[in-house]
Amino acid sequence: MLCAIYKSCRKEGMYLYVAKRDEFDAVPDSLRQAFGKPQFVMLFNLAGEKPLARADKKEVQQHLEQTGFYLQMPPPVENLHTTFVAEQRQQAV
């Protein structure tokens, strides 16, 4: 199964997967507005050997079949303070 991947011009790291290139009918209007103008990245074969960088291929395919789209959110912002405290605790042990 092929899908088209688009990146958001408004939110770094947000990607939208749709079943066919340039077909956004299944994407709710509110999401389209929040996403901004989609910038085409690539066509991707979900049945192929290559993995997706930050999404599970089976989950993407399931969403495409059920809702017609899959939204990949950006990774959570790392809390540097929490990371620092955890590292300090490990060094103290």
Mean pLDDT of 82-88: 84
pLDDT range class, residue 91, cuts 50, 70, 90: confident
Bridge partner residues of 5 (DSSP): 17, 42
Neighbours of 93 (CB within 10 A): 4
pLDDT range class, residue 48, cuts 50, 70, 90: very high
Give residue 67's pLDDT: 96
Q: In whole angstroms, what is the distance from residue 15 CA to residue 72 CA? A: 5
Q: Is the pLDDT of residue 77 over 80?
A: no
Does this model's pTM top 0.75? My answer is yes
Give residue 17's pLDDT: 97
